[in-house]
Amino acid sequence: MSSMESRIIVSILLLAGFLCTVSPLAAVEPLSVSSPDGNLTVTFSLKSDSTLFAPNNRAHYRVDYRGNAVLADSPLGLDFIGGPLDIVATQRQSHDATWENRFGAKRNVPDRYNQLTVSLHEREKPGRRMDLIFRVYNEGVAFRYYLPKQEAMEKFTLRHENTGFYFAADASAFALNMGRFNTHNEGEHLPIKLSAIKPDSIINLPLLVHVPDGPWVALLEADLTDYAGMYLGGVPGGAHALRCRLSPTPGRKADQVVVGTTPAATPWRVLMIAPTPGRLIENNYLILNLNPPCALADTSWIQPGKAAWDWWSGSFAKDVDFKPGMNTPTMKHYIDFAAASRLEYMLVDAGWCPSGKAERSEDILKYKPEVDVPEIIAYGKQKGVKVMLWVDWLPLSKQMDEAFALYEKWGASGVKVDYMNRDDQEMVGFYHRCVRTAAKHRLAVDFHGAYKPTGLRRTYPNLLTREAVMGMEYGKWSKRITPEHDVTIPFTRMLAGPMDFTPGSFLNAARGRFKVRDVEPMSQGTRAHQLAMYVVYESPLVMVSDYPEAYKNQPGLEFIEKVPTVWDDTKVLNGEPARFITVVRRKDQTWYLGAMTNWDARDLELPLDFLGPGEFEVQLFADGPDADKEAASLRITTQRVNADDKLHLHLAPGGGAAGILRFAQDDPDE
């Protein structure tokens, strides 16, 4: 890394505090910076603004896409009461590089941007300094605030961040409105007009927006480090304007949302922008680009893969010679299934460690006699299956070093950390400490009860996945996991990064036939719909959720056994939020296809020009002719195709299709 890059990274890691007012005497011509392809432009300017959240003469920015306004003049600022600021310097930089990601949806990641840094100085005492840093990529726009180390402000307390997103026109959106801070980020992303978002709304990220007659825009944040998570609310008097809202830390005063010392930086505020919603999915590596490179010298021990999992089916089993439950024989039974099905992992979920006297006070340094964890792990090693352990974050936060050292000694390969349900500054610090400490002990991490991803997995790729999504578990107690939800979250939640949705249900229910039940739970939609999730949903670690007997002699398991979990390339062939989606992903020279629809049956004609030269054989796992009634009905066919052909698919209501496209001369059993 060059010294210039080091200075830029440092200057990006810091801002947190002014009411960013600027004296009219400091007014200059607007400063602009455009993307390498010229389609996106950010303009910084100083102007008068009298809205409640942006008083006085202030710094603003606007965003244009192909010459048309996406964001009108929108305020910038950090509220910790400062005086007028003067622009004292500007700096421009361009960057054009590619980096390798072995743990994502695209192996060779382009990282191209143009950057503008505007340095500001408080005119009156104490004379504090601040930078505004704008980066414009072909894939979107990002900016952050930076506070350099300075005597005038060694420490700071931030009350609000006054960043605004003032759209140039009203627009339709898909929003997750949990109605409160500190959530598990699990709910439906529902259609809403920007003008309907109220000032007291607390909208989770990502927010997906479709500008009228214009591009699709996703609002996110990246590199959330030692700061509070961002939400969105409306602006009083602003018809289609949004403002940043930060998650407060429990136990702190309301005006102490972020506390720190300089140097410090805010997370990146990100607008991914593309002509189609599918392009946003293809470009979600932008969040990774905005995070520091990998901090681990050796990543060879980190293994993506699929996991057998006891929790979804309640440790249920049929025709076995032991009593199913959270016990050693049941866990070995799942390991046998994992080994036979070529799954890399077995996840031992909650219940293996003794409960304490108080609620959520498990003794995470011990295991119950009936769940011999070292024996289970040793058995997994004999079978070539790695074992991960569930753990509650609360006791883990108090015994992290000791617990992770013990799990490493036992031979565990990872942990599933649960129940955080917060993204305030304190909890964000826990996430960073957890992945760092886990890496020291060669443990992979899966966060549940989690906030949305912000790209930490680039710096610590042992963070394989996280929940932060209303996943299939909700089917055990509700009817909320519908095919419509299934085809909405790729365009919303998944834009932030991998999601542990836990697919793989083989007890499939056609419309009107779904029943809520905790034991032998069902899924809505067809079996092909479930298989397609292994391609459509991004997750380097993915569950195979049903109990072993549910897969015995059942069509479709073959696809789960073969499908990878990390990719060399990703393309979205078509799709619309809440309606349908088709994704193809490449691993080496083989392409994998996943198509899903809502409750509407659908016929798709898919161009195959992504294949390149040569003849390919397609093994297709599609809805059977009676899948509208018998959702488990699956038709498996093979055919020869080339790049000039089109693939015709019929998706049943709640249906889907999954496919493997490999060179025709290849042996499909290799």
- Interatomic CA distance for residues 371 and 351, integer angstroms: 9
- Interatomic CA distance for residues 114 and 93, integer angstroms: 6
List Cα–Cα distances, 432 to 184, 186, 240, in angstroms.
Answer: 17, 22, 35
Using alpha carbons only, give the angle 30, 31, 35 rounded to the nearest 5 degrees. Answer: 130
Report which DSSP code applies to 65: E
The number of residues making up the chain comes to: 670
Residue linked to tokens 């443990």:
443
In one-letter notation, the amino acid at residue 366 is K
- Cβ atoms of 480 and 473 within 8 Å: the answer is no
Report which DSSP code applies to 479: S
Phi/psi-derived region of residue 625, left when phi > 0, alpha when psi is between -120 and 50, beta in every other case: alpha
Which tokens go with 379?
């058995």
Check if 644 is active-site: no
- Interatomic CA distance for residues 401 and 282, integer angstroms: 38
Closest residue by Cα to residue 509 from 632, 636, 635? 632
Phi/psi-derived region of residue 594, left when phi > 0, alpha when psi is between -120 and 50, beta in every other case: beta
Whole-angstrom Cα Rg for the chain: 25
Q: Active-site residue among 221, 418, 486, 546?
A: 418
- Interatomic CA distance for residues 487 and 485, integer angstroms: 5
Residue linked to tokens 């994998």:
592
- Interatomic CA distance for residues 55 and 240, integer angstroms: 19
Q: Active-site residue among 161, 221, 362, 473?
A: 473
Instruction: Locate all alpha helices (DSSP H) within 344-466, ordered by sequence.
Output: 373-383, 393-398, 400-410, 425-440, 456-459
- Interatomic CA distance for residues 42 and 34, integer angstroms: 6
Strands (E), 525-589: 541-544, 569-576, 580-587
Which tokens go with 215?
């591009």
- Interatomic CA distance for residues 261 and 153, integer angstroms: 8
- Interatomic CA distance for residues 209 and 193, integer angstroms: 9
Which tokens go with 531?
């298989």
- Interatomic CA distance for residues 110 and 569, integer angstroms: 12
Q: Please provide the DSSP assignment of 385-411 as one string.
A: -EEEEEEEHHHHHHSHHHHHHHHHHHT
Check if 473 is active-site: yes
List Cα–Cα distances, 76 to 552, 583, 607, in angstroms.
Answer: 58, 37, 44
Residue 603, burial from CB neighbour count under 10 angstroms (0-12, 13-18, 19+)? exposed
Torsions phi, psi for 282 (to 5 deg)? -60, -30
Which tokens go with 63?
């965003």
Instruction: Locate all alpha helices (DSSP H) within 266-392, ordered by sequence.
Output: 277-282, 286-289, 328-340, 373-383
Enumerate residues 6+ apart whose C-beta is below 8 A from 543: 306, 307, 309, 312, 347, 500, 502, 503, 504
Terminal-to-terminal C-alpha distance of the chain:
41
651 strand-pairing partners:
602
Catalytic residues: 418, 473
